[in-house]
Structure 1
Amino acid sequence: MAKSYKLLFGALVVLALLVSPIASSRKLAKPNKHKPAARSHSNYTATPSASDAYGSGGWLSAGATYYGAPNGDGSDGGACGYQTAVGQRPFSSMIAAGSPALFKGGKGCGACYEVKCTSNPACSGQPATVVITDECPGGVCLAEAAHFDMSGTSMGSMAKPGMADRLRAAGILKIQYKRVPCKYSGVNIAFRVDQGSNPFYFEVLVEFEDDDGDLSSVELMEAGCGTWTPMVQNWGALWRFNSNTGKALKAPFSLRLTSDSGKVLVATNVIPAGWKAGATYRSLVNYS
């Protein structure tokens, strides 16, 4: 009997040695950064050295890559929820997916940065402005304190004339960046109502904010209410509001926006009575 146990134990040891190299060599699949994994708010602790050069005039160091078509817009709006708008004015494909220090769990959606490169002979050294519209969550995106995974269009914009393809073929670029105000000339803030909204649940995408470009909070006021109620960041640039009373929400809705630096702006009755899920409502206001 003891001999049988010894033989069985020896067989198990051999099996473990055979299986463990296979398991240890298995590679994890790369996350799809173009689609949010979960629609929930992520806590974020600010990293001043990575993203807060706004207004200081100082340049910070970062890495840069590109994804998608060489002359394309990278993604369909990805983890910020902007969808096809990134390829149209005013974004015009000048966008980037930001590493966690830039994306900030979605609170960094819409922030604008100047980027430039001098580390490659194809670099022009002239700055271009990009908007954070997606998340770059892992792998190469965590190699530096800040990383921009840019659209092919925005990557090429840092190149000397006629050398965009050469710059895009360079792999990981060392670049410089700084936070700058967003400027959407002639465009006011837009509110796109999510398809899942109904009389008891309201969710809205906020886009095209001048100046800071990103928001720290959004509040809603129902018709005839007179008080502001905080909305919750659902994911990316989408904010939601649930009826706590069991009664249908009463439109028109006014929305009060607070930017990253604390500037407050009110879009009065911007969501009309009879609003429709999936519709976009343009306001008459912007931060500048």
Structure 2
Amino acid sequence: MASMIGLLVAITALLSSHCASADWSNATATWYGDRHGACTDVCTYIYCSWCVRIPGRRPHEAPFSSMITAGGPSIFQDGKECGACYQVKCSGHASCFDRPVTVVVTDSCPDCVDEPVRFDLSGTAFGAMAAPGQADQLLNAGRLQIQYTRVSCNWGNGLDIAFRVDGGSNPNYIAVAIEYEDGDGDLSGVELMQSGAAWQPMQRSWGAVWKYNSGAALQGPLSIRLTSGSGKTLEATNVIPGGWTAGATYRSVVNYNPN
């Protein structure tokens, strides 16, 4: 049990740092999936064993470590908030520990419309709000009133932004899932620049996936410019090489400041 507590503390430190002034708001929390995990794929970040588009990736593995959440419409915002980080805590149940834990928005909860703000947490994340040894009692409650605050994402360990090329891409069309943005965690705009060309806007396809249809063969290498939710820009120069492969992941050497 002591090792589990240490793991959860480490995950919280890895994923997020506190905002300068944390303002807590009220929300409802439920949980879904396995009691010690979850399955989510709307944002295209992670996949369970039955999600075969990226064999071998599992939500319980780092860096997500199952500390994930689906969001109701006010949190998910049609996929615009994919990657956003929140801290959540509970205090109204006997098993609550009143210690915040950090979760990442990776999925949609379209049925979460009965409250203004709803987090549908993984079983792991829901249980992490419990006092030591009382995760099962908290999970048995099923639904809790919680407090939440938006925080800066900090993936740590030198993890830079990655671009995973969607399997449906072709020489004239590319779609990429953008992962591991520090800071805001979410994006308001993405642009693509072919070799020797000007910047062109990409369109959000769904969740964390952005697409661009050139109408002609794309000329690599491709650079990508990101605009975060708060308007900060960042360029990943020549991040996708000429001769790129659908389904491949290309890692940049840049990321936002997490503070």
Tell me if both proteins adopt one fold, taking TM over 0.5 as the criterion: yes
Query: Of 71, 81, 92, which aligns to 2:44?
Result: 81
Partner of 2:8: none
For 1:207, the aligned partner's letter is E
Partner of 2:101: 128
Alpha carbons of 1:253 and 1:209: their partners in 2 closer, same or farther (altered >3 Å)? Answer: same
Q: Deviations over 1:250-288 (max 9, x none)?
A: 111000000000010000000011110000011100002
Gaps of 5+ in 2: 1-18, 48-56
For 1:219, the aligned partner's letter is E
Q: Which has the higher helix share?
A: 1
Partner of 2:169: 197
Partner of 1:51: none
Partner of 1:58: 23
Query: Of 78, 83, 107, which aligns to 1:105?
Result: 78
TM-score under structure 1 length normalisation:
0.77
Partner of 2:66: 93
SS in 1 for 2:42: helix
For 1:119, the aligned partner's letter is G
Partner of 2:226: 257
Q: Find the structure with the greater CA-based Rg.
A: 1
For 2:248, the aligned partner's letter is A
Distance in 1 (alpha carbons) for counterparts of 2:149 and 2:20:
9
Query: Which residues of 2 match residues 1-288 of structure 1 at below 5 A?
Result: 56-72=21-37, 74-75=38-39, 77-84=40-47, 86-138=59-111, 141-185=112-156, 186-225=158-197, 227-243=198-214, 246-288=215-257
Higher relative contact order (CA 8 A, sep 6+): 2
Cα drift, residue 247 of structure 1: 2.0
- Alignment RMSD (CA, Å): 1.1
Distance in 2 (alpha carbons) for counterparts of 1:255 and 1:88:
27
Cα drift, residue 55 of structure 1: 5.7
Distance in 1 (alpha carbons) for counterparts of 2:232 and 2:60:
28
Distance in 1 (alpha carbons) for counterparts of 2:170 and 2:60:
29
Distance in 1 (alpha carbons) for counterparts of 2:175 and 2:163:
10
Gaps of 5+ in 1: 1-53
For 2:46, the aligned partner's letter is Q
Distance in 1 (alpha carbons) for counterparts of 2:110 and 2:131:
30
SS in 1 for 2:153: coil
Q: Which has the higher strand share?
A: 2
Percent of aligned positions that are identical: 57
Partner of 1:23: none
Cα drift, residue 142 of structure 1: 1.4
Cα drift, residue 57 of structure 1: 1.7
Alpha carbons of 1:163 and 1:117: their partners in 2 closer, same or farther (altered >3 Å)? Answer: same
Number of equivalenced pairs: 228
Distance in 2 (alpha carbons) for counterparts of 1:162 and 1:70:
14
Cα drift, residue 56 of structure 1: 4.5
Partner of 1:11: none
Partner of 1:27: none
Cα drift, residue 96 of structure 1: 0.2
Cα drift, residue 171 of structure 1: 1.8
SS in 1 for 2:121: strand
Cα drift, residue 88 of structure 1: 2.1
Cα drift, residue 87 of structure 1: 2.7
For the 8 Å contact 1:55–1:179, the answer to whether it is kept is no
Distance in 1 (alpha carbons) for counterparts of 2:46 and 2:175:
15
TM-score under structure 2 length normalisation:
0.86
